[in-house]
Structure 1
Amino acid sequence: MDLLHTALNLFLPPAGIFFLVTISPTLAFIKACQWLLSYVFCENIYRKVVIITGASSGIGEHYVQHLAYQYGERGARLVLVARRDDLLRRVADRARKRGAKDVLVIPADVARKEECKRVIDETIDRFGRLDHLVNNAGVTHSFFFEEATDTSAFTPLIDITFWGDVYPTYYALPHLRRTRGKILVTASVASWLPYPRMSMYNSAKAAIFNLYETLRVELGSDVGVTIAMPGWIESEMTKGKFVSPEGDAALKPEQRDVDVGPFPVAYAEECAQAIVTGALRGKHYVIYPFWYSTLLLYRVFAPELLEWSYRLLFVSKAPGTDEPPSKIILKTTGAQPHLYPSSIQKAE
């Protein structure tokens, strides 16, 4: 067996590279045709039924609300799911004003499978169908892995960020198959970028990414899957709400520094528009802002350089200080990631 693997190690890498180079022109032509066709045959979502989870928590306070508005402007019928009923109803009112044909509000905790089943059942009882499932629930943290004083700090993060996508998908799939619907999931660039102080969140998002990559293979053309990978987007997270390292399951309400360093925080409205448009065009992936794709190249071809850069920016101490260079950059430029003109205000 060792001899066989040795032979495969010697033969397959050069053979694989040769085949990839040979077939690249054909693949490029096919992708170009798919790109052009996506603009011609963009899905009409008018009066179709869309479930959106996480519409009032974590990244949801801005980005997910604008996902609802984007679907609403296209005349969809919406089901908004999150734990905070009051905020859900405000989002529902705005979505109706934007053009949503009907909006159903379902307060629920997507980390609990029985509540996810209830969400799907209530949706089918009300509308009789399901066309899009948009999974977004998630919370993050801002502490080093070793700083956690209680491992229970990890539990709510994994429950919401991972299982909060798994359970709705599991119960929605039979209905999505019947309508040949779509799943739009927010995986974040954190699923492949090694952001320090976010180890468990990154891990949960990486699990989400691989789950839906596998589902795309398993489901084939029956159900479309779009994986959205936004970078730093205006949200409760970039305003400083995190799971505590002491194990408190609740998001911390106080404003705290968000160590995003030199990375700008993008508007949620523009991000939501790009991602919904990508899903309706049948794209497999949507990275927003697009310049993060450059970092993906480094992740594949020069991971050591990416690791060194992130450690230098976010972990190492700047000379003569007790702070990382990323925080020094913020203070020097006067940029504060949670002090931006909110596009939610523009939406109102």
Structure 2
Amino acid sequence: MSCLKHLHFENVAGKVVLITGASSGIGEHVAYEYAKKGAKLALVARRKDRLEIVAETSRQLGSGDVSNVEDCKKFIDETIHHFGKLDHLINNAGVPQTVIFEDFTQIQDANSIMDINFWGSTYITYFAIPHLRKSKGKIVVISSATAIIPLPVASVYSASKAALVKFFETLRVEISPDIKITIALPGFISTDMTTPQFKEMYGSDFILSESVSRCAKAIFRGIGEEFLDLRSVRAIVVGFDSSKILFPTKVANGSYDGG
């Protein structure tokens, strides 16, 4: 029997939501979920052509790089200028890793993975916090199951995603209860980024069975749901300020053949 009792689902109609990495994959489909419920969207991505397609029903900030501090400040400033507020920040921007660690041609190339996947989320969060305090808003972080499950050919990527989890778990303590934080850890999700990468590494028969649309729907539900912990005598509410969404996948014992 579950010790959690569902309380309600947040109405996001009219809420202002900024999503990074919104031109494809999870970010794109999370944007669609918000749009269906009447949210006002500000979308950020590096691929402007794809972003314009996604942005048919939203305010589009233009292409930009979350690893650039000035770009991150611009994203927040333009959102506030256009909408006057910010309710949700969805930190989704990320890039993959395609070689094992010792095969990096230049070890400095690993920096870009950490810059985009980790620092990009922390930079934009820094500029968003004052506005999210005013709206009693939320920060959503799209990490990865690789933050807790070792995956060959993803050493630096996994480190960047694990860093996200620890940073935002700590930040949650610092900024609670004014701002709620939800952390999502998707497993093997079929996206434009992951499907070619995994098929190249593990062969054409490798199947990513979880659709990006289904993943986005689960994330959206997790963002909006709030629960009452029935195990607590004081009926402490857990949910927005302490939620973590995990999309588990079957993990079999085995080894990776680097040859």
TM-score band by shorter chain is: 0.7 to 0.9
1:185 aligns to what? 141
Deviating beyond 3 angstroms after TM superposition, the runs of 4 or more aligned structure 1 residues are: 260-265
Does residue 174 (structure 1) correspond to residue 130 (structure 2)? The answer is yes
Pair 1:115–1:266, CA change in 2 (3 A)? same
Q: Highest Rg: 1 or 2?
A: 1
User: For 2:152, what is the secondary structure of its paired residue?
Assistant: coil
* TM-score using structure 1 length: 0.66
Q: Is the Cα contact below 8 Å between 2:86 and 2:135 reproduced in 1?
A: yes
1:48 aligns to what? 15
**Greater length-normalized contact order (CA 8 Å, ≥ 6 residues apart):** 2
* TM-score using structure 2 length: 0.87
1:23 aligns to what? none
1:32 aligns to what? 4
User: For 2:181, what is the secondary structure of its paired residue?
Assistant: strand
CA–CA separation in structure 2 for the residues paired with 1:234 and 1:263: 8
Q: Is the Cα contact below 8 Å between 1:92 and 1:105 reproduced in 2?
A: no
Shift of 1:106: 2.7
User: For 2:162, what is the secondary structure of its paired residue?
Assistant: helix
1:70 paired residue among 33, 36, 55: 33
Shift of 1:313: 3.3
1:286 paired residue among 245, 248, 251: 245
The correspondence of residues 216-227 of structure 1 with structure 2, limited to 5 A, is: 216-227=172-183
Shift of 1:237: 2.4
Q: Tell me which protein shows more strand as a share of its residues.
A: 2
Number of aligned positions between the proteins:
243
Shift of 1:192: 0.7
Does residue 163 (structure 1) correspond to residue 119 (structure 2)? The answer is yes
The correspondence of residues 76-155 of structure 1 with structure 2, limited to 5 A, is: 76-93=39-56, 96=57, 102-155=58-111
Q: Which amino acid aligns with 2:14?
A: R
Q: Is the Cα contact below 8 Å between 1:239 and 1:258 reproduced in 2?
A: no
User: For 1:151, what is the secondary structure of its paired residue?
Assistant: coil
Shift of 1:263: 6.4
Unaligned runs of 5+ residues in structure 2 are 227-238
CA–CA separation in structure 2 for the residues paired with 1:267 and 1:258: 20
CA–CA separation in structure 2 for the residues paired with 1:62 and 1:187: 14
Q: Which amino acid aligns with 1:270?
A: R
State the Cα RMSD in Å: 2.2
Q: Is the Cα contact below 8 Å between 1:259 and 1:314 reproduced in 2?
A: no
Shift of 1:265: 3.2
Unaligned runs of 5+ residues in structure 1 are 1-27, 97-101, 242-254, 296-305, 317-321, 323-348
